[in-house]
Amino acid sequence: PCKMADYAESEVPIVSLASLRDGSPSDALVQELGDALKKIGFACLVDHGLEAILPDIYDLNKRVHALPDEDKKQMNINSHHRGFLPLNRSPTFRDENAKKPNYSESFLEQPDAATQPPGPYCVFNGPQPWPSTDADFQPACSALSARMVAFARTLLPVFAQILGQPQDFFEPSFATPQWFFRLLRYPTPPLEFRDKVIGAGSHTDYGFCTFVMQHDLGGLEVLAAPQADRSAENWFTVPPRPDAIVLNVGDTLHRWSNGALRSVRHRVVHDAAVDRHSTAFFFDPRYDTQIVPLRAADEAALYEPFVYGEHITKRVRSNYNTLPPKVDQATTTST
């Protein structure tokens, strides 16, 4: 574990979750993780209790990308943003060097739509595509995503305490959480593209928080905090650790914290001669959650309140062409 003075602004601090596994989060954990997320926006989590399944997640990732092309086409991402997203369909155009869509492909799983509340922003509720040639993939994937949900829930009391709230503050908002389990593959880019940042362009994440498993190959880069004496952007790499999970703050938590926890731009630079596999778990509140910035009585609100479902729908629609162009009751009922 690291304290604020122990790490620079150009590295992601390592934070041990050992005390969380022993029961209630320790004051030291709350302080260390809070410091990391307030200063860097990222933390490298160790002693998290998921070490035994990280190889299984890596194997699952490689397994879905090894499926026949016909199986991938059959799982093609649907109008609920579920399924297989082919190469060059993830257009994050926020980096001046990224002139093409993100050079990656991925499989996206979301919660069983029957468990999600109906409402005007539930365009993500719908059927989940699965491989037709690998009957064991669905139970394996669902079991691992369930473990990620359970793990993410254990951090809610920590986030609450970091923000000066009771440990159970976030529980109602995550009674039926929205989440995205994304198995990514970054192929070796063609030679003519290798001087471009096309793994994943510079962006912030839309939701509450993200857990990233880089597996055995790095490429994740984080934008360092701006400095008065430095005009150019300074990016630093996040070295891969097979036993670690990288946590970062999303825009929803950033605004919920009234800007106290940083949602920081990051990207993926991949120019190695081998494919890169990375798995991301995006953990978000229920669709109808009203996000009201948490602030002291004498502190001004930096953001207007908003509904998470409206926010996530707008953000996904702005970056993808998978969702229907208009939200109406017919497209938002649970199926």
Rounded to the nearest integer, the mean pLDDT of the chain is 85
328 phi/psi in degrees, rounded to 5:
-145, 170
Residue of 273, 105, 267, 280 whose CA lies nearest to 196: 267
pLDDT band at 123 (very low <50, low <70, confident <90, very high): confident
Place of tokens 């002139």: 99
Q: What is the pLDDT of residues 129-162, one digit of tens each?
A: 999 999 999 999 999 999 999 999 999 999 999 9
* Helix runs in the chain, H state only: 18-21, 27-39, 54-65, 69-74, 137-154, 156-162, 251-256, 308-319, 329-332
| Residue 5, pLDDT score | 36
Q: What is the pLDDT of residues 19-69, one digit of tens each?
A: 998 778 899 999 999 999 999 999 999 999 999 999 999 999 999 999 999
Cα R_g (the chain), whole angstroms = 19
Q: Give this prediction's pTM.
A: 0.88
CA distances from 129 to 19, 76, 112, 176 (A): 38, 8, 11, 21
pLDDT band at 195 (very low <50, low <70, confident <90, very high): low
Q: How many CB atoms lie within 10 A of CB 23?
A: 7
Q: What is the pLDDT of residues 56-85, one digit of tens each?
A: 999 999 999 999 999 999 999 998 999 999
8 A C-beta contact, residue 203 and residue 251: no
pLDDT band at 95 (very low <50, low <70, confident <90, very high): very low
Asked whether residue 202 carries a pLDDT value surpassing 60, the answer given is yes
**Lowest mean pLDDT: which of 69-73, 90-94, 201-205, 321-325?**
90-94
| Residue 187, pLDDT score | 87
Q: Rounded to a whole number, what is the distance in angstroms from the first to the last CA of the chain? A: 45
For residue 76, give both structure tokens: 């093609």
For residue 177, give both structure tokens: 């959480």
| Residue 38, pLDDT score | 96
